[in-house]
Structure 1
Amino acid sequence: MLENANERGIDVENFFKVAHVRHPCERFISAFNYLAKGGASEGDAQQAQVHGIDRLSIDEFVTHITNREWFKKGAPIHFIPQVDYLFYKTDGVFGGRSYSRDRPDGTFGVDMVLCQDRWEEGLERLSQRMYHMILLQTMYNRQNYAEKRITCRDLQKETREMIEGIYAMDYCVFGYHSFLSDSDMCVGSFMTPEQFTMKYEKCKEEIKNDAMLNPWL
């Protein structure tokens, strides 16, 4: 939608942009399992084969991601950090795209953040912003899984810590801890786009000064 928007006569400034975020570790597990099962297209299956997802355990796979350059060299989009999608960054994974140059690095690019782990709360906020427009009931439906899903608590400690390092910016900017808690609030319910922009810079500085996390900037 944003690519070459001006050339196509689309005034994105008048769009109300919404995105939802997810706990980085839970998202990683979901992406891995999705591709390990073949995904939903031939392209997904090819990505799984190229990156060994179809034959490696999640513990083995995570060791192949050694620094941020992995994301810039054809990594499956399912694993790209969420900050790369929601902030304007000329030096990021999508830095070559025209819309990345429209704003200073680190400018937040959406108007409202919903959280997958607080789905109904997010939809209620969205409905209020849309002047209480009735959202489709199917949007409220959550998928029921017949089999028990692996969560971050089930991973080996070393694997979980590696994921926390890889997605340090996601954890910091969106306020996630190692594990989800029923008491956690969605960061989008109390932070404005301007506050997200400031939080991005603060997190970037903190991670820059951490020798263990610095390779992931």
Structure 2
Amino acid sequence: MKLVWCPETAVKAYVDAVKALAERGLEERSVAELVSAMAGGWKAQLVVEAWARDAGAATGVGLRAAVEHVRGRHVCVVPDEQWAAEYVGAMRRAGSSVEAESVAVGEAEGAMRELEGVDLMVVDCRRRDAKTVLREARPGARGMVVVCKWAGNQRGGAAGVFRAGTRVVRATYLPIEGGVEVFHVGVGKGPSLGDGRAPWIRHVDHYRNEEHVFRRW
């Protein structure tokens, strides 16, 4: 099995996200609209959001708009109860209720271990444990799409932190809202980025307006 793109559902999810975000006047809308379309287009059944403190509710609102179309599940992962309270508060201020089962509280290793079969994951790279979250992600039977927000702060890219044996078949960088890296994790046997070669990884530091190139061995 593999993830199959459905443009009709992607459009519906995108339009609903645009409307919801506009009504609430939320910031960081570009990424929120993007991940909403992805969740809808891939018909993601389990969507995991690794939320960063003070990140706001835009991404959560966008993802919730998407999962309603595909009858999926949106779960936010936070490290402790204080973060959980802040996330729930941000969502409620944005007019979106949050059920207890929609928030996974705990260290990244334990929290991600309980979430088997991830179809889409959105990670805010401003989290100190972002690399651990990525490494502990467990893709679904169809593979997984990973979106790294604020990836411009990550020197060397996020691809190198996935757990050993993870098959990254596609990767792209989008210069929006602090930098966004998107990875497509495949299933089964086949080539992976970096197999048999040492690829060059491009990194843009938006704070210093510099571009760096790294070679991953």
Q: Same fold (TM over 0.5)?
A: no
Which one has a larger percent helix, Structure 1 or Structure 2? 1
Give the TM interval when normalised to the shorter protein.
under 0.3
* Higher RCO, 1 vs 2 (CA within 8 Å, ≥6 residues apart): 1
Q: Could you state the TM-score of these two structures normalised by the residue count of structure 1?
A: 0.25
Q: Could you state the TM-score of these two structures normalised by the residue count of structure 2?
A: 0.25
Structure with max Cα Rg: 1
